[in-house]
Every structure is written in structure tokens, then in C-alpha cells.
């Protein structure tokens, strides 16, 4: 099922199955009020817990770990095959074109910085101010046009159309190409963006488009061909895979034409000394060109294992179950007048399991600290590394200073931050039900403990 299909409101399977098994599901944490409780991990948008299936697959491989692409021994050959098979698995998961390249990176941030380093001279980049910093900031060495936050999906398409049309009208001979960068699902509001329509608009004006799928890929299938994007980037740690790995997949021409992202072994095919004392280097034109050094084979394998697990579980069932959880949270928050849910596109916009909100009369960091200390619920508070977007949603001065996740005032005082609850394939109903009940209780009765600010965080007073 594509993003546009979901966004169009077409029916999905409503067979609600149970959560997938994840690590940490039985971990208990102490409460400041006494006793322990099973931890409710509701910060999936930052890092999702690893699937038990992924952990088991990695554990089964670990004794056979060996160097990749370098060794003649059996374990090296086995690890090399596993690494390249992982590349094929992820390529299939993303439904890439036959001539696309897939590069393993450290993260979404690393992937987009790699692409930024590969931009042709004179490239103009168009990016909405609503992006996560991973996709907002890497383009500093290009000519960047920042687009204002749209308030509907249709306005997003119209805004991009207007910006690209203005570029087309003023284009000069020798001017470089254009690239559009857009998220698939907001890391702040969870709202789905009209990716296919934005891609069609970009291509109509001769521009290319890269999709930040960090928040989309764990929740919905991502087809490079169906969405018609030129590149896609995502992170393993949001896709239920541990070990700090990521992916950049898409068109090969700009990547082959650019110098290696990192210079070193693996990226070079041939190195020779010159008579003048220097060296000549012949670089690979495959994905290896941008994978210098010993690769993170376990990270790559864990992403592939996660892709297999999600595909086998079936995205229609996963999407339906997540919508069930979304409905529980949104209905519960709607019963609390003091809660304001943040949204660009409105209440009816389709979304993934990411919901941000503020509570009247509460510092968001204080509220998040109370959820953790008194209820064993882990959420995120702050600006979520999407400062311009959160400031737009909160109606604040765009010049106001702030740090990701750091409270700026004492508990109970107004602050420029919000609370984010996020969940996914491993979340049981009890976790979101406990969250809704805790929100209602905190708003009605207040915190049962005293809190103070320490090292930029709101923490229980001892």
C-alpha cells in the first residue's frame, strides 16, 4: 500500500493482530512513588526497540563474523555474501529500479549528507522548513530555497509548484540542476506527506527528489518506483534494527560522478605512485565508492532482517493495528480540554503513530518527567530536532532560541517545547491505554512528586 493510497483514505485491512515481539518488552522500571512497573516505551520516533526476530538473526550470525570484501577465508567469504545479500534484500524491500544503487551508511543524517556531498555544481535545493534537521541542514554548500510550512497537502504541492515554476522562468544557460527534499511522515505530527504528488511536480520541472523515509519506512511500505522518487534515505534504528546503520538508495549517476564520500580502502579500485611522488587513484563506480573502510556488516544485516520481518508480518495488518493505537490515543487526548495536539494538516490527516501535544499550564519537560517517574512511560519532550516546524506549530517567534529536548524554564512555567508520544509494531494496547490514563490523571490531579531542573533536564527532586 503506497503513501498516496493511505492519504486518499482508501480502506485497509482491519484485522487487528497483536504486537510484534521486541526487546525490552518485559523490562521493569522503578517509580518514585514506590514499586516497579513494566516500562512503556513510547518514543519509537527517536529509536524503536529492536525486533526479537532481528536480534535472534544477528545472534545466529555473530559467531561467523569476519572481514568483508577483503579476506580469502571461509568466514570472510560468508560475511561478504551476507553483506551483499543484505543489500539485495533492502533493495527489494524498497522496490528500487534495476539500475539504482543502494549504499549502507550510518543513519538518515549520514545518507542525506552523503547525497549533499554528491550534488553537481550549481545544484539548487528546495526544502520545506518543516523537515527534521537531518534533511533540513545538509545542503549548506548548495543554493537552498526554504519553503514555508504548508497547512494542507494540497498547499504543499502548490508551494513547490510555484517555487519550481519561478526557477524555470528565470533559469539561465549553464545553471545547475535542482533537487527537492521532503519527508514521508513528519517526526513531529506523524502526518503523511503527498510524496507521489510532490515527486510528479518536481519531475515536471526537471528537478529530482529525495525522500526522507526515516519515519515512514517503519510504518508503511515504501516503493521507490510507485512513489517515483529519485532517492530514499532511512535509518535502521527506527526500523527495529540496532547497531547504527542507515541506507541511501536511488539513482546512480550523481553518486558515480561525485568524489568518494570518504577516501580510503574499499572505495579505491587501484592506487599507484606517480613519478613526481604523488599517487593516482581509480575509484569504484559501484556502491563501494561511498562505503570506504570496513563496513558495518552487522548493521547492514540487521536492517535486512528487519525488512524481512516487516514484509513477512504484512504491512496491511501492521498499518491497521497502528491505526487502532492511534485511535485510542487521539480519542483519549480529545477528552482532555487542556491538551492541544499539534498538526499541520488538520485532525483528519492520515498519520503514523507519532503525536505531539502541549498541555495548558504545564511545562512540557515537567509533564514528560512525571510520565516517566510516576507511571513508567517513556516519551520525548523538546523541539524534536525540527525547530522551525515546532515553533511554527506553537506560534512562537522563529528567532527564539532553544535546544533539542532541553527545558528552558522551571517546572510549571511556559516553555518552548512540546511532548511527543510515538509507537509502532511492538506496542501493546496496555502501553497506550496507560499513557492516556496518566495524561488524564496528571491534568486532573497534578504531579505527585516534586521536580527540579538539573543539567538542562527536568528530574524528580530527591
User: How is residue 170 written as a grid cell?
Assistant: 528565470
Place of cell 511556559: 414
User: How is residue 214 written as a grid cell?
Assistant: 526515516
Cβ contact 97:225 at 8 Å: yes
CA distance 246 to 47: 13
In DSSP terms, 22 is beta-bridged to 51
Dihedrals phi, psi of 335, to nearest 5 degrees: -85, 0
Place of cell 524503536: 48
Catalytic residue (choose from 96, 181, 385, 458):
385
Number of neighbours of residue 77 by Cβ within 10 angstroms = 14
Give the helix, strand, coil percentages of the chain, each rounded to 5: 35, 20, 45
State the DSSP H helix or E strand holding residue 358, giving kind and residue range, or none if neither: strand 354-359
CA distance 354 to 417: 16
Q: Rounded to 5 degrees, what angle do the CA atoms 135, 136, 139 make?
A: 90
Q: Rounded to 5 degrees, what angle do the CA atoms 436, 438, 439 make?
A: 65
Instruction: Decide the pairing of beta strands 124-128 and 143-147.
Output: parallel
Query: Would you call 123 a catalytic residue per the annotation?
Result: no
- Residue 174 burial class via C-beta count within 10 angstroms: exposed 0-12, middle 13-18, buried 19 and up: exposed
Catalytic machinery residues: 385
Amino acid at each position: 500500500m503506497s503513501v498516496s493510497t493511505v492519504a486518499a483514505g482508501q480502506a485497509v485491512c482491519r484485522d487487528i493482530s497483536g504486537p510484534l515481539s521486541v526487546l525490552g518488552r518485559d523490562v521493569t522500571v522503578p517509580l518514585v512513588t514506590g514499586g516497579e512497573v513494566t516500562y512503556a516505551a513510547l518514543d519509537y520516533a527517536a529509536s524503536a526497540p529492536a525486533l526479537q526476530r532481528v536480534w535472534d538473526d544477528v545472534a545466529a550470525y555473530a559467531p561467523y563474523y569476519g572481514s568483508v570484501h577483503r579476506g580469502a577465508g571461509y568466514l570472510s567469504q560468508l560475511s561478504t555474501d551476507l553483506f551483499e545479500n543484505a543489500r539485495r534484500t533492502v533493495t527489494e524491500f524498497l522496490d528500487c529500479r534495476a539500475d539504482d544503487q543502494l549504499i549502507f551508511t550510518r543513519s538518515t543524517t549520514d545518507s542525506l549528507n552523503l547525497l549533499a556531498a554528491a550534488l553537481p555544481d550549481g545544484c539548487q535545493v528546495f526544502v520545506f522548513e518543516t523537515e527534521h534537521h537531518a534533511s533540513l541542514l545538509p545542503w549548506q554548500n548548495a543554493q537552498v530555497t526554504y519553503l514555508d510550512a504548508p497547512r494542507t497537502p494540497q498547499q504543499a504541492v502548490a508551494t513547490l509548484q510555484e517555487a519550481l515554476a519561478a526557477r524555470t522562468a528565470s533559469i539561465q544557460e549553464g545553471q545547475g540542476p535542482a533537487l527537492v527534499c521532503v519527508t514521508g511522515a513528519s517526526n513531529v505530527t506523524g502526518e503523511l506527506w503527498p510524496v507521489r504528488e510532490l515527486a510528479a511536480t518536481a519531475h515536471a520541472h526537471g528537478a529530482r527528489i529525495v525522500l526522507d523515509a526515516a519515519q515512514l519506512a517503519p510504518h508503511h511500505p515504501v516503493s521507490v518506483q510507485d512513489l517515483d522518487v529519485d532517492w530514499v534515505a532511512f535509518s535502521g534504528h527506527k526500523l527495529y534494527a540496532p547497531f547504527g546503520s542507515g541506507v541511501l538508495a536511488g539513482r546512480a549517476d550523481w553518486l558515480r560522478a561525485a568524489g568518494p564520500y570518504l577516501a580510503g580502502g574499499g572505495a579505491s579500485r587501484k592506487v599507484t605512485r606517480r613519478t613526481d611522488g604523488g599517487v593516482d587513484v581509480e575509484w569504484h563506480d559501484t556502491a563501494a565508492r561511498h562505503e570506504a573502510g570496513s563496513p558495518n556488516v552487522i548493521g547492514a544485516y540487521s536492517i535486512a532482517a528487519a525488512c524481512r520481518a516487516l514484509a513477512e508480518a504484512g504491512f496491511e495488518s501492521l498499518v491497521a493495528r497502528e491505526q487502532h493505537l492511534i485511535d485510542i490515543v487521539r480519542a483519549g487526548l480529545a477528552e482532555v480540554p487542556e491538551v492541544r495536539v499539534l498538526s499541520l494538516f488538520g485532525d483528519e490527516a492520515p498519520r503514523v503513530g507519532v503525536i505531539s501535544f502541549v498541555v495548558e499550564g504545564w511545562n512540557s519537560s515537567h509533564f514528560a518527567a512525571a510520565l516517566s517517574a510516576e507511571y513508567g512511560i517513556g516519551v520525548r519532550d523538546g523541539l524534536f530536532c525540527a525547530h522551525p516546524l515546532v515553533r511554527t506549530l506553537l506560534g512562537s517567534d522563529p528567532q527564539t532560541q532553544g535546544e533539542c529536548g532541553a527545558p528552558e524554564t522551571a517546572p510549571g512555567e511556559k516553555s518552548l517545547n512540546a511532548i511527543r508520544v510515538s509507537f509502532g509494531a511492538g506496542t501493546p494496547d496496555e502501553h497506550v491505554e496507560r499513557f492516556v490514563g496518566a495524561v488524564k490523571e496528571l491534568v486532573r490531579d497534578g504531579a505527585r512528586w516534586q521536580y527540579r531542573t538539573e543539567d538542562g533536564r527536568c528530574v524528580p527532586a530527591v
